[in-house]
Amino acid sequence: MIFNSKIIIIIALLLCTIAILFLFNKFGPSQIVLIPLGLIGLSLLFFSRGILIFLTVLCLALAQCPFKMLQSAATQLRWVFLTLFVLHVFGDIFLGRTVRRIKIFDILAIVFVIYALLSSFYSPLPSLSRERTATVLALYISVFWIIWKYAYDQGPEKVVYLILQVTMLIFIISCLMIFISPHLSFLSGRFQGIFQNPNSIGITCAILLPLSLWQFLVSKKKTALFLFFLILAALFLSASRNSINATIVAMGYFIYTRSRKYRPLVSFSSISLILILTWVMQTIAAHFFEVYYRTPTIPTLGGRIKIWPYALELILDKPIFGYGFGVEDKLFPLKYIVFKAQPVGSIHNSYLGLMLQLGIVGFIIFYSPLFILLLKELFSRQDSKIPSLRYALQTSLIAGLLCCIFESWVYSVGNAQAFPFWVIVMLLVFYRYQDKEKMIPEGT
């Protein structure tokens, strides 16, 4: 008997929900998580690895939701799914089912993991540094081995479709929360949906909007167009300035590369649109944009200017090796730096944050491959044979790296944004190695 995987997953999740609701009064959240594990483990016998990817992305998103019971369950389940990815890798190695050999980026990833692990010897919180390192290792194995294999078997487009399916579900739930629980879906007048804060949903929108536009351009489906406008609306309502600016820059690149025949017209239209918007912002809609863009806080970058000098001072104290991986949001209290206006966790800058944790050495190991990849993609030959998805992935990478300027997120495996971002990076690397394999003559 052939089972439809979508029907199986719906039934499994319904059973999990019923079991959780029924036993909620008898067990704590940590014990409740054990109930669906048996069902999920059994159902994985029927599920493809695509379902595992779907569930992982879903759990990472739900781990930020405001509903405590669901958040607690998803928070623990996300690590279970990442562990299942790792077990799949060992299974592939044992059975000889791997589809690629070790590459240069694998060596760089392992070097970073070892370096981050060694930082636990001088970290003020050694156990935290080891835990964060373990999550990075799990992310690397999951994305660059299991999902790579899935992309090899099913195609990169299938991976993106899975991520967008989860995105559709999460954003619909987020929008429904406006009517169900408006006090939880907004923070200081800014839309956050089921995410941790408005900036979290802003980053998600910035890195996934190009992929949703690609999906519509390729499929011409109304559902794809609906998702595009859903993400666009969520981005606007979040009022996340960094994410909006990153999206504008990145989408400008995408439109420009997609319009080879009409680039002069696109350039003229873009300049005209910018001039018109500037005029509108300064005249008839000046008050709206002053409130929406929170112009009084722009000179201080939303308070970040007050934090960054302290971060730079700490970095200069230990510029080479940093203070230890994963201690970014713990370091200010440990160093007795207290801010009266508001408590400070992360630095709100992924570049400064990693330099604070692992110094210049860790910064170079982590970020140089990303920027080299981006530069190679931007300056590679562009022709009609290059898949349009590749341009969308480049756009998402640009948006993600721009979002790193004002938020600390890219090396935090547990949030909802890091996993899809690194899948995007992996797919670009996948395309580049495909190009190299096509250039090698058969029989060599």
187 DSSP β-pair partners:
190
Q: Which pLDDT score is estimated for 28? A: 55
Lowest mean pLDDT among 41-45, 165-169, 170-174, 297-301: 41-45
Residue 442 pLDDT = 47
Percent of the chain as helix, strand, coil, to the nearest 5? 75, 0, 25
Higher pLDDT, 268 or 344: 268
- 172: number of Cβ within 10 Å: 14
Q: Is the model's pLDDT at 39 over the cut of 60?
A: no
- Residue 386, pLDDT score: 83
Q: What percent of the chain has pLDDT over 90?
A: 50
pLDDT tens digits along 95-105: 777 888 899 99
Structure tokens at 286: 């000046």
Give CA–CA dist 167/334, Å, rounded.
Answer: 37
Across 240-258, average pLDDT? 90
Q: What is the mean pLDDT of the chain?
A: 83
Kindly state the tokens that stand for 164: 């967008």
pLDDT tier for residue 340 given thresholds of 50, 70 and 90: low
More confident residue, 144 or 179: 144
**Do 12 and 45 contact (CB within 8 A), yes or no?**
no
Q: Considering the entire predicted model, what is its pTM?
A: 0.87
**Rounded Cα gap, residues 41 and 31, in angstroms:** 16
d(CA 75, CA 73): 5
Task: Please state the rounded mean pLDDT for residues 48-70.
Answer: 85
What pLDDT is stored for residue 9 in this prediction?
52
Task: Tell me the β-bridge partners of 190.
Answer: 187
Q: HSE of 180 in the Cβ direction (CA atoms, 13 Å)?
A: 11
Which of the residue ranges 14-18, 267-271, 384-388 would you say has the lowest mean pLDDT?
A: 14-18
